[in-house]
Amino acid sequence: MSANSSRAGQLLSQASACISWKQDVEGAVYHLANCLLLLGFMGGSGVYGCFYFFGFLSAGYLCCVLWGWFSACGLDIVLWSFLLAVVCLLQLAHLVYRLREDTLAEEFDLLYKTLCLPLQVPLQTYKEIVHCCEKQVLTLATEQTYAVEGETPINRLSLLLSGRVRVSQDGQFLHYIFPYQFMDSPEWESLQPSEEGVFQVTLTAETSCSYISWPRKSLHLLLTKERYISCLFSALLGYDISEKLYTLNDKLFAKFGLRFDIRLPSLYHVLGPTAADAGPESEKGDEEACEPAASPPQATPTSLQQTPPCSPPPAATNFPAPPSRARLSRPDSGILEIDDFPSYFPQFGFSGKVAAGRIP
């Protein structure tokens, strides 16, 4: 350690010292260059911080080039300052290229701000989702069909960006699909990844529409690979299907004045024919309840005793018998058919033409 310090001292002592100092200060270009370098080294981090940092350094080194060429007249000063200025400018060009490459299209940027930003989805995760749909925005002309009932295979998942889509079945209107709603979420949830199926409804564009579409296999691979994206799509699809259910329930209420419980086991009892089958048994139970239970059987089996008609108990003689409550009738099977509620959602166990049946 002492040998190194002694050698450094010898080098400093042998170096030629300044014989005389310049009386005149350097020009304004030299001081401007140092001020720009000072401001540049005060830059922060991040993309915009890098822009600030390399921008001021480039300007400072260019001023050094001018100072070395016109004032200092030193070739080494000019060459080093020019080299450093070129490196900073190349770094700025690289930052601009990266920023332009990562910039989303207007439709995808608006989709992120509307659908994913409120859920605090990271931008990098959103870019993976967008990359899965190949960053393509598809269009539908007015009255152009997206899917035809019984013909179009379920091989993709689409999200409407603009316009309005009409959903119908057998020519009967079901509901509308508005921007930032999935166009085929029930069909997507109705099938397993290895299953195949076709649409049970027809989707027609009422206006000029734009949408994005994920291929079924590519999206399943992404959901299998990324658990966070899988949970995100489960939440979005579940909310979308519930909105469609509430829309159809509101349609039934506006049409018949009936608001059904959308928890589908209860809805099945409303729409199914089980109550009609249980009607004769319940009437039979009422008749059996009307028979007397206090009279014992006769000892002689050959003689038959006529059963007196049932009468109200003595305690109830002072009060009039309550009138029998009329049974509320349900809508006919022709009213609650497939076009009204359930068959649009085959994943919930409704298939074919589901009718409510007549209830006496």
The yes-or-no verdict on residue 269 having pLDDT over 50 is no
For residue 183, the SS3 value is coil
pLDDT the model gives residue 335: 37
What mean pLDDT comes out for the span 77-101? 91
Q: Which residue has the tokens 């039934």?
A: 252
The first and second tokens of residue 7, run together, are 């050698």
What mean pLDDT comes out for the span 204-213? 95
* Cβ within 8 Å of residue 64, ≥6 positions away: 30, 33, 77, 81, 84, 85
**Residue type for position 2:** S
Domain extents in the chain: 26-120, 123-256
The yes-or-no verdict on residue 288 having pLDDT over 50 is no
Tens-digit pLDDT profile for residues 218-252: 999 999 999 999 999 999 999 999 888 887 777 76
pTM: 0.54
* Beta partners for residue 166, in sequence order: 176, 204
Q: Phi, psi (5° rounding) for residue 144?
A: -85, 140
What mean pLDDT comes out for the span 109-132? 91
Apex CA 221: angle with CA 218 and CA 226, to 5°?
A: 125
pLDDT the model gives residue 9: 63
pLDDT the model gives residue 261: 55
pLDDT class of 340 with cuts at 50, 70, 90: very low
Average pLDDT of every residue of the chain: 75
What is the b/e burial string over 217-239, where b = at least 16 CB atoms within 10 angstroms of the residue's CB?
eebbebbeebeebeebbeebbee
* Alpha-helical segments (H) within 42-111: 46-67, 75-102, 106-111
Q: Which of 28-37, 97-106, 170-179, 187-196 has the lowest mean pLDDT?
A: 97-106
pLDDT the model gives residue 190: 87
pLDDT the model gives residue 233: 94
pLDDT class of 281 with cuts at 50, 70, 90: very low
The first and second tokens of residue 109, run together, are 């940027």
123-256: CATH superfamily: Jelly Rolls (2.60.120.10)
pLDDT the model gives residue 245: 84
pLDDT class of 259 with cuts at 50, 70, 90: low
The yes-or-no verdict on residue 305 having pLDDT over 90 is no
The yes-or-no verdict on residue 296 having pLDDT over 50 is no
The first and second tokens of residue 244, run together, are 């469609």
What mean pLDDT comes out for the span 127-145? 92
For residue 233, the SS3 value is helix
The yes-or-no verdict on residue 44 having pLDDT over 60 is yes
pLDDT class of 13 with cuts at 50, 70, 90: low
pLDDT the model gives residue 214: 94
The yes-or-no verdict on residue 202 having pLDDT over 90 is yes
pLDDT the model gives residue 12: 56
DSSP 23: S
pLDDT the model gives residue 218: 92
The yes-or-no verdict on residue 1 having pLDDT over 70 is no
User: Residue 37: which of 97, 108, 85 has the closest Cα?
Assistant: 85
The yes-or-no verdict on residue 101 having pLDDT over 90 is no
pLDDT the model gives residue 195: 87
**Residue type for position 218:** S
Tens-digit pLDDT profile for residues 311-321: 444 444 444 44
Out of 6-15, 41-50, 121-130, 344-353, give the one with best mean pLDDT: 121-130
What mean pLDDT comes out for the span 24-50? 89
Give the long-range contacts of residues 239-243, CB within 8 A, separation 24 or more.
Answer: 240/181, 240/182, 240/185, 241/185, 241/186, 241/189, 241/345, 243/181
The yes-or-no verdict on residue 73 having pLDDT over 50 is yes
